A and B are shown apart, each in its own frame.
Chain A
Amino acid sequence: MINLWPLILEHMLIVVVATVISIALGVVLGVIAYWVRHVDTVIMWCAEAIQTIPSLALLAMLMIFFGLGNTTIIAGLVLYALLPIVRNTYTGLAGISHHIKDAARGMGMSKLQRLIKIELPLSFPLIFSGIKIAVVNSLSIAVMGVLIGAGGLGYPIYRGVQTRNLERILNGAIPVVLMALIFDYTMSKIEQRLIKRAR
């Protein structure tokens, strides 16, 4: 039995870093899509296209640019996480009632003030569900990092596959699935609370 904790931590770290970057990027893109006319379709289309690319293909191509290692898997996860975050940010912002937007405008808030003080907070529950989807997916996809020289729980799994060792596979697989389920569960709870509070 190998010590799994370092692998679990590394796995988490990869996912956390990727998620933080994709939140920053995704929210910005979502806001741009919301603010700039016609750009929304382009951004959505791109995010969806990236998601359509097979993960192994995307990671392999990224490896050509970033080389072997954690950077590549993080880049891949960021790209995959964009769609749910961008989409939910955009629909959240666009879905805010006109009355509220007009009220904010009527109070003399600038575009940026409206965004930061009113619109983003109101869209937060929806953005949060986008983040949840991104995190849960990333936990699972991060396993593939091992194929492009990254660390994390993919390592024991891949070794297990290569040596046809079920126990080894499970060593990696069980923590991954558990983490995914736990994150899904707790974040869903938070999500429900956020939605309830927003009503």
Chain B
Amino acid sequence: MNFLDFIAGNYIDIQLSLLRHIELVGISVLIGMMIAIPVGIFLSRHKRMSGPVLAVAGTIQTIPGLVMLGFALILFGIGRLPALVVLSLYAILPILHNTFTGITQVDQSYIEAGRGIGMTSRQILYKVELPLAMSSIISGIRISTVYIVSWSTLAGLIGAGGLGDLIWTGLSSYNSNYILAGAVPSAILAFAFSGLIGLLQRMLMPRGLRGVRV
């Protein structure tokens, strides 16, 4: 069967998988952000803890996705929940890392100026450090999102649904139509997310920061 015919024939299935996939990515990246950004801010205030925490997070990152999914499968069984747990865990590290370095790399003179003119440390955080670290944080989110689009295809293995399902079907039945129907949209999805977040990053960047070292 021709690929285009295949697409036409399974249009609804593919669309559903795509939506499912977007949902998986969206939820886990959001959870990742909700954990990583506050923790990153916390670590930037307590630098002594940052070393061990970042090292642990880094090691988690080197654990192959298949292994993590296996753990989740054994712990939580099949379905969306274990997949979301694993994906969120993976989403944390790049955002955490970039939040931390983004904030700690803000030039000391800005912070000193802020303190000197009577900002509280909370005000320095919100008005100075976070705006200056924003670009770095968003690029962490972008890296996470691209990762998660990728890991989500793998999560089809433990019944999370999404485009991974189509690829799995294709791989197990050696059907290139299924493979392509899963692989091509997932690649496009990754490009689209990456491009959109990059655009967002540029839009959110204040004019004053372009070409400026923070």
CB contact under 8 A between A158 and B66, given known A57-B182, A166-B74 = yes
* B176 CB within 8 Å of chain A: yes
Q: Which of B136-168 contact A (CB under 8 A)?
A: 146, 149-154, 157-158, 163-164, 167
Contact with B along A133-175 (1 / 0, CB 8 A): 0001000110110111000001001101100101001001100
Say yes or no: A148 contacts B171, CB within 8 Å: yes
Contact with A along B166-205 (1 / 0, CB 8 A): 0100110000100110111011001100100000000000
A134 to chain B, nearest CB (A): 14
Residues from chain B with Cβ under 8 Å of A144 in the complex: 64-66, 154
* B73 CB within 8 Å of chain A: yes
Say yes or no: B70 contacts A161, CB within 8 Å: yes
Residues from chain A with Cβ under 8 Å of B63 in the complex: 140, 173, 177
Stretch at the interface among A31-39, A60-68, A89-97, A122-130: A60-68
Query: Which secondary structure dominates chain A's binding surface?
Result: helix
Residues of B within 8 A of A (CB-CB), count: 37
* B69 CB within 8 Å of chain A: yes
B20 to chain A, nearest CB (A): 15
* B67 CB within 8 Å of chain A: yes
Say yes or no: B167 contacts A60, CB within 8 Å: yes
Partner-A contacts on B (CB < 8 A): 59, 62-67, 69-71, 73-74, 146, 149-154, 157-158, 163-164, 167, 170-171, 176, 179-180, 182-184, 186-187, 190-191, 194
Query: Could you list 11 examples of A-B contacts with CB < 8 Å?
Result: A53-B150, A53-B187, A54-B190, A57-B182, A57-B186, A143-B65, A143-B66, A147-B171, A161-B70, A169-B70, A177-B62
Partner-B contacts on A (CB < 8 A): 49, 52-58, 60-61, 63-64, 136, 140-141, 143-144, 146-148, 154, 157-158, 160-161, 164, 166, 169, 172-173, 176-177, 180-181, 184
